[in-house]
Amino acid sequence: MSDPLSALPAIADSALPRTVREGSQADRQTYKAALGFERLFVDQLLKSAAAGRPLAEGPQSQAVESALADAMVANGGFGLAAQLHTRMRSTS
């Protein structure tokens, strides 16, 4: 059986909060899963926002949307990952 987190975009440890970086391996994996979800969520928001606009046209549109989503999440995103991580830890 393959690792379900392997399908998520690569997330550098430097993108993790210090408390998560210094935590357990399980904490890092849980936070990376939450950050991966946030990245996919941001990507979908960008696709919806760009529908019918020049950003959504042309051969590079998906690459531009993905790069924007990566940049947004790498710079803190919406904070959804931190909230998910906290919730996931409290239910485990």
Asked whether the predicted pLDDT for residue 1 surpasses 50, the reply is no
For residue 33, the number of C-alpha atoms closer than 13 Å in the C-beta half-sphere is 15
For residue 57, give its domain range. Answer: 40-92
- On whether residue 57 sits in a domain, the answer given is yes
Average pLDDT, the chain: 80
59: left (phi over 0), alpha (psi -120 to 50) or beta: alpha
Query: Residue ranges of the alpha helices (H) in 13-79?
Result: 18-21, 25-50, 61-74
Selected residue with higher pLDDT from 76 and 7: 76
- On whether residue 29 sits in a domain, the answer given is no
The pTM assigned to this predicted structure is 0.73
- On whether residue 13 sits in a domain, the answer given is no
* Whole-number pLDDT of residue 64: 82
Tell me the C-alpha distance between 56 and 23, whole Å. 40
